[in-house]
Amino acid sequence: MRATAKAHTNIALIKYWGKRDESLILPTNNSLSVTLDGFYTETTVAFNEALKQDQFTLDGQSISGVQYDRVTTFLDLVRDVAGKKNLYAAVDSVNKVPTAAGFASSASGFAALAAASARAIGLSLTDQELSRITRQGSGSACRSIYGGFAEWEMGKRADGSDSYAVPIAPVDHWDIRVAAVVLNATKKKVSSREGMKRTVDTSPFFASWVESNPVDLNGIKAGIKHRDFEKVGEIAEANCLKMHATTLGANPPFTYLQDTTLTVMQAVQAMRANGIPAFFTIDAGPNVKVLYLPENERTVEKTLRGIPGVTDVILSKSGQGVTYL
Ligand code: PMV
């Protein structure tokens, strides 16, 4: 009745931006990510018949409120699938995701929670089934089941049964690196959940975003297959810019990009002009992630650290999928 799982965060190269079903967490487009070695969550789940409700500790602190509610709502789903309605759990999570790095710890968090709780309650799931359940905790988390590159297939069905991630290439296929550039920026005002919804509901650019995605997706998959870094980087950077462009058309308009974000974006493009292949991508926040190849690591790190407003640079290789400890 007890299991421990470890899951890494991932960074999307083709972004998930927009839901077609808010409660089941069903997206309006496929997305594709690389799982990152440097950032992970370890979670132990112990179901216990003596418990009257779930308990949740995160980094040693007992959690209540919205974070606790998201965990118990997710465990209800696992209990439902297992047919064990009133069996509560003690959940103990440790996050190795520096929150300042601007990685959604919800991706590694829900992937680890899903894996540990499913195993602890006695479910034996395929990766696809695990990814589908994980999706309902946090959308981007469903890609963290796999190492290397993973694609979340949006699916078509209203019940979400065909919406889950699949592996695209394992971690040893290609050593591509990601630098998380931490900025001296103000906290974001619009959550990814709210930002997506506002964009879907009001941005006239949203339809073209959805329409343009399949081309990016096919191109990047071919690029990954042939280890074509320029192609993968160019598509990832352009896809990120298109996602951020949709928010400017929303009502009221908003952006996650701050002045230091733009400075880093320009510095990355300047590196390219100087012959160093490096590309940026940015999620629903101000921090920038930079894709590069191992042979350019020293130059990329030095350049990024030298940019005014950059407070830290954390380097990562691509990482493994879920493991059990
Ligand atoms: O799963 P969420 O709600 O954390 O949304 C993540 C959305 C982006 O990070 C902006 C893009 C992505 O695909 O991860």
**Domain boundaries of the chain, sorted by first residue:** 2-172, 177-316
Ligand 1 atom nearest to CA at 193: 3
Cβ atoms within 10 A of the Cβ of 124, count? Answer: 7
Q: How far is the CA of 193 from the centre of ligand 1 (A)?
A: 8
Phi, psi of 225 (to 5 degrees): -55, -45
Q: Return the SS3 of 83.
A: coil
Ligand 1 atom nearest to CA at 152: 13
Domain 177-316 has CATH 3.30.70.890: yes
Task: Assess whether the C-beta atom of 87 lies below 6 angstroms from ligand 1.
Answer: no
Model pLDDT, residue 100: 61
Mutational test site, ligand 1, from 99, 283, 287, 289, max ligand atoms within 8 Å of CB: 283
Model pLDDT, residue 166: 98
Q: State the pTM of this model.
A: 0.97
Nearest to 31 by CA among 135, 174, 133: 135
Strands (E), 15-48: 19-21, 26-27, 31-48
Given this chain, do its domains 2-172 and 177-316 carry the same CATH topology? Answer: no
Nearest CA to ligand 1 atom 7: 16
What is the rounded radius of gyration, in angstroms, for the C-alpha atoms of the chain? 19
pLDDT per position in the chain (325 positions), as tens? 999 999 999 999 999 999 999 999 999 999 999 999 999 999 999 999 999 999 999 999 999 999 999 999 999 999 999 999 999 999 999 999 876 666 767 899 999 999 999 999 999 999 999 999 999 999 999 999 999 999 999 999 999 999 999 999 999 999 999 999 999 877 778 999 999 999 999 999 999 999 999 999 999 999 999 999 999 999 999 999 999 999 999 999 999 999 999 999 999 999 999 999 999 999 999 999 999 999 999 999 999 999 999 999 999 999 999 999 9
Ligand 1 atom nearest to CA at 15: 13
Q: How far is the CA of 264 from the centre of ligand 1 (A)?
A: 21
Model pLDDT, residue 187: 76
The two beta strands, 61-62 and 177-183, are unpaired
Phi, psi of 247 (to 5 degrees): -70, -25
> What architecture does CATH give domain 2-172?
2-Layer Sandwich (3.30)
**Amino acid at residue number 271:** M
Q: How many residues would you count in the chain?
A: 325
CA distance 323 to 325: 7
